[in-house]
Amino acid sequence: MKPELRRILFAIAVLVWAAVLLYFHASGRITKYLAPDFRPIAFVGGLGLAVMGLFNLLTARQQADCGHDHSGEEGGHVHDHETSDMHPITALLLMLLPVGFSVAWTKDEYSAAALARKGLYDSPSQASPSFLANAMPPLTREEIEKSHRKTPEGFYEFSLMELFFATGDRELQTAIDGMKVETEGRWIEEKTRNPNGTRKRLYRLFITCCAADSRAIPIILEFGKAPPDFPENEWMKVSGTMRFPMEEGILHPVLMVEQAAPTEPPYEESFMRN
């Protein structure tokens, strides 16, 4: 293949990656993929790729002299700084096909099967302590009422993360047990420990760096009767009394629901490291 054509193909591959990075940033969808401190890096990376791709595309036909000798080159035509490991077409396909398919397939969220793999049905005590050790906000019993806003209906607003981790913190658990709380998250089927069909699950993702390393942070919703019908993954605001019953030898965070209604998703749908 002619060097000019190879440069053009490589520049196209680089520009496609740049376009994908910049598009996801500009559209705001990047918030579903990366933790906040990685987003500007991705943006700068997209700009850098665009500059490199455009520069190489515009100078593809220009003669360039690196100033080196190139021992062992066949016929002096193949330039040592540009010979690639693969045939350019193969390289182009391998760079573009996975990205292309992913952009076409993504819905910016995981399916229930992937969520199950990411801990949706794990009890809090099964969550890796090293994974989320830094995520717990400092919270004592005295601070609970001061640091949590009370709704007009008398429910304290809690993040799902606090309710989830209270299960593993004896002091916090005792303080919260029996409290009237309100929290928000995504609505999903309860597939375990639901013999009477009276339960649902509420979850949010916790992202350390990117969506691939995310973990599900769930609590159980107990209705005491058939739960209302809402679409899977709908954002819900749920209020009720918090309990931590022991089931099959494991403590579980269970919210005895009094009110449940759809709500707008928050700007940051996932919990982030910072």
Partner 1 sequence: MAVHAGVGHRLTGGTGRALLCAMSADSQQDFALAFLSILFEGAPFILLGTLISGFIDIYLPAGTMDRFLPKNRNLAVVVAGLLGAVFPVCECAVVPVIRRLVKKGLPVSCALTYMLAAPIVNPITALSTWKAFQGQNAAMMTSSRMLLGFLIAVAVGLIVSRISITAVLKPKLVESLEEPEKASSHAHHHDHDHDHDHDHDHDHHGCCGHDHDHDHDHDHHGCCGHDHDHDHDHGHDHGHHHHAPSGDGKLVAAFRSAMKDFVDVGVYFSIGVSITALFNTGIAPGAEWLDGLAGSTVGAPAALMVLAFVLSLCSTSDAFIAATLDKFSWGAKLAFLTFGPMMDVKLLFLYQTVMRKRFIGALAIGLFLAIGSITIFWQQLVFDAK
- Identify residues 143-202 at the interface with partner 1 (CB under 8 A): none
Integer angstrom CA distances of residue 115 from 100, 101, 119, 204, 267: 24, 21, 6, 10, 21
Choosing from 5, 26, 86, 261, the residue that interacts with partner 1 (CB under 8 A) is 86
153: Cβ contacts below 8 Å, ≥ 6 apart: 182, 239, 259
Rg, C-alpha atoms of the chain: 26
125 scored as a contact of partner 1 (CB under 8 A): no
Closer residue to partner 1 in complex, CB, 93/179: 93
The torsion angle over the Cα atoms of residues 119, 112, 268 and 127, rounded to 10 degrees, is 0
Contact with partner 1 (CB under 8 A): which of 1, 105, 231, 248? 105
Position 112 contacts partner 1 (CB under 8 A): yes
Give dist(CA 19, CA 206) in Å, integer: 27
Site map 2..21 versus partner 1, x via CB under 8 A: -----x--xx-xx--x--xx
Identify residues 22-61 at the interface with partner 1 (CB under 8 A): 24, 30, 32-35, 37-38, 41-42, 44-46, 48-49, 52-53, 55-56, 59
Residue 247 Cβ, how far from partner 1 at the closest point, in Å?
24
For partner 1, the binding residue among 5, 26, 103, 261 (CB under 8 A) is 103
Q: How many angstroms separate the CA atoms of 235 and 204, rounded?
A: 10
- The answer to whether residue 77 forms part of the interface with partner 1 (CB under 8 A) is yes
Provide, rounded to whole angstroms, the least separation between the CB of residue 204 and partner 1: 15
Torsion of CA 127, 131, 134, 138, to 10 degrees: 0
Pairing of strands 250-251, 156-157: unpaired
